[in-house]
């Protein structure tokens, strides 16, 4: 047995050694992190505190705690541009009709659009359908398992691919949505404009550094949950934030972060034509030439176009000038950076004109049947504005 030649410790040497140990560990940790060019967040403590908060506080949502890539994918595309509260019912209903990729592949696009009605941004469901068709036809119904392969599908970008790959398959890839960018900007007190190339690189780098590679799905969801429920755009709950001790902007006006350039709105003016008969309301069929493409709509045109031209198109006539046109006020609507003001006009065609209806592009739909069609949001607003009884 080897002899221990060390002198026994006195209380004074004990406490001096303890202090030296703590000091040297602290110096090592800071110099290591600073050498990486990052703020000295202790990543281990950050991850464990965030994950333990998430485990205890995550909202009970129907699309959480499932490993089903189809359901995770569906919920993620529904959640783009839409609040969680709105998505819950849509998600539950959609999954009850179409529980998997093959069911979506077999469905008509109209059936899917109908279930999507009200969520807006319809290109999401059209791309989802295309992707499910492709998976069913080319991949034997199997959803790809890596973020790189998922990104090849229509409508699947970096964020959605990372969410599916990390939550369903455990791939160590970070999800970066608006919530995560806000949290990172505040944690590191980052003040460059959020959409700049430099900022994108910064968020990618920090998200990858912070990611818990042993539990990437939970970690990604925890970051998003933190942004949605604690580190909110207005009035962040810094006092109860589970990672507040690591946050550089706490107490320094975190609401001012992330820095965003002012949105430049484009004012746009449309006209809408309301035609009511005993057969119902005149609607324009979905078309790629409509102002809001591929949706049923109350006929709309640009302000510079003549109402008479729309009447001529709808009733295959050149006699529009004989019709009386009444102004019914206007509605306002916004699509991304477009602020649209639509002036509403009404007219009452006679039976001779009604018989000439251009049925290829237009249809009279009874008010009671409107809910079976996927109307664009602008048309729904116009509907609220007009009297919905037949003349």
Whole-number Å distance between alpha carbons of 318 and 160: 50
- Two tokens, residue 225: 């949950």
183 touches 246 (CB < 8 A): no
**Nearest approach, Cβ of residue 209 and ligand SF4 (Å):** 16
**Cβ count within 10 A of residue 175:** 27
**Nearest approach, Cβ of residue 222 and ligand SF4 (Å):** 12
- C-alpha closest to that of 367 among 244, 245, 275, 264: 275
112 touches 125 (CB < 8 A): yes
Looking at the Cβ atoms of 46 and 70, the one nearer to ligand SF4 is 46
- Binding footprint of ligand SF4 on the chain (CB under 6 A): 183, 186-187, 230-231, 236-238, 241, 243-244, 247, 249-250, 254
76 is catalytic: yes
**Nearest approach, Cβ of residue 50 and ligand SF4 (Å):** 10
356 touches 317 (CB < 8 A): yes
- Two tokens, residue 347: 């007219």
Looking at the Cβ atoms of 2 and 59, the one nearer to ligand SF4 is 59
Looking at the Cβ atoms of 239 and 351, the one nearer to ligand SF4 is 239
**Nearest approach, Cβ of residue 26 and ligand SF4 (Å):** 22
Set 76, 171, 225, 297: catalytic member: 76
Whole-number Å distance between alpha carbons of 212 and 66: 19
Exposed (0-12), middle (13-18) or buried (19+): which is 66, by Cβ within 10 Å?
Answer: middle
Looking at the Cβ atoms of 150 and 257, the one nearer to ligand SF4 is 257
Whole-number Å distance between alpha carbons of 131 and 152: 9
**Nearest approach, Cβ of residue 202 and ligand SF4 (Å):** 16
Looking at the Cβ atoms of 252 and 359, the one nearer to ligand SF4 is 252
Residue position matching structure tokens 């912070």: 210
**H-helix or E-strand containing 13?**
helix 11-35
Whole-number Å distance between alpha carbons of 356 and 352: 7
Looking at the Cβ atoms of 220 and 374, the one nearer to ligand SF4 is 220
Q: What are the DSSP calls for 149-209, one per residue? A: HHTTSTT--HHHHHHHHHHHH--------HHHHHHHHHHTT--S-TTSHHHHHHHHHHHHH
**Nearest approach, Cβ of residue 205 and ligand SF4 (Å):** 18
**Nearest approach, Cβ of residue 190 and ligand SF4 (Å):** 12
Helices (H), 230-361: 307-315, 351-355
Looking at the Cβ atoms of 130 and 250, the one nearer to ligand SF4 is 250
**H-helix or E-strand containing 136?**
helix 123-138
By annotation, the residues acting in catalysis are: 76
């Amino acid at each position: 047995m080897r002899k221990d030649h060390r002198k026994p410790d006195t209380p004074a040497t004990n406490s001096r050694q303890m202090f030296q140990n703590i000091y040297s560990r602290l110096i090592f940790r800071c110099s290591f992190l600073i050498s990486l060019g990052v703020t000295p967040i202790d990543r281990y403590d950050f991850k464990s505190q965030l994950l333990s908060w998430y485990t205890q506080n995550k909202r009970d949502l129907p699309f959480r705690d499932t490993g089903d890539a189809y359901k995770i994918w569906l919920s993620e595309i529904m959640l783009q541009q839409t609040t969680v509260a709105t998505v819950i019912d849509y998600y539950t209903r959609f999954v009850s009709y179409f529980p998997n990729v093959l069911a979506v592949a077999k469905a008509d696009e109209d059936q899917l659009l109908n279930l999507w009605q009200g969520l807006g941004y319809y290109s999401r469901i059209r791309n989802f359908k295309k992707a499910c068709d492709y998976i069913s036809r080319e991949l034997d119904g199997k959803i790809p398992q890596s973020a790189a392969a998922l990104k090849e599908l229509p409508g699947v970008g970096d964020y959605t691919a990372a969410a599916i790959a990390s939550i369903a398959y455990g791939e160590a890839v970070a999800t970066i949505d608006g919530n995560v960018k806000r949290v990172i900007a505040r944690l590191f007190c980052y003040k460059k404009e959020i959409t700049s190339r430099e900022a994108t690189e910064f968020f990618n780098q920090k998200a990858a550094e912070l990611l818990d590679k042993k539990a990437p799905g939970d970690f990604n969801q925890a970051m998003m949950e933190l942004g949605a429920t604690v580190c909110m755009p207005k009035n962040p709950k810094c006092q109860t934030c589970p990672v507040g001790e690591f946050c550089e902007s706490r107490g320094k006006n975190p609401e001012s972060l992330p820095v965003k350039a002012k949105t430049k709105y484009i004012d746009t003016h449309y006209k809408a034509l309301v035609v009511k008969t005993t057969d119902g309301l005149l609607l324009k069929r979905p078309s790629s030439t409509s102002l809001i493409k591929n949706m049923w709509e109350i006929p709309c045109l640009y302000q510079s176009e003549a109402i008479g031209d729309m009447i001529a198109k709808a009733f295959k006539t050149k006699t529009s000038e004989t019709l009386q046109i009444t102004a019914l006020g206007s509605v306002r609507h916004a699509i991304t950076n477009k602020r649209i003001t639509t002036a509403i006009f009404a007219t009452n065609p006679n039976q001779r004109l009604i018989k000439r209806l251009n049925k290829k592009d237009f249809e009279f739909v009874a008010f009671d049947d409107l809910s079976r069609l996927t109307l664009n949001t602008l048309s729904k607003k116009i509907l609220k504005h007009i009297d919905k009884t037949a003349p």
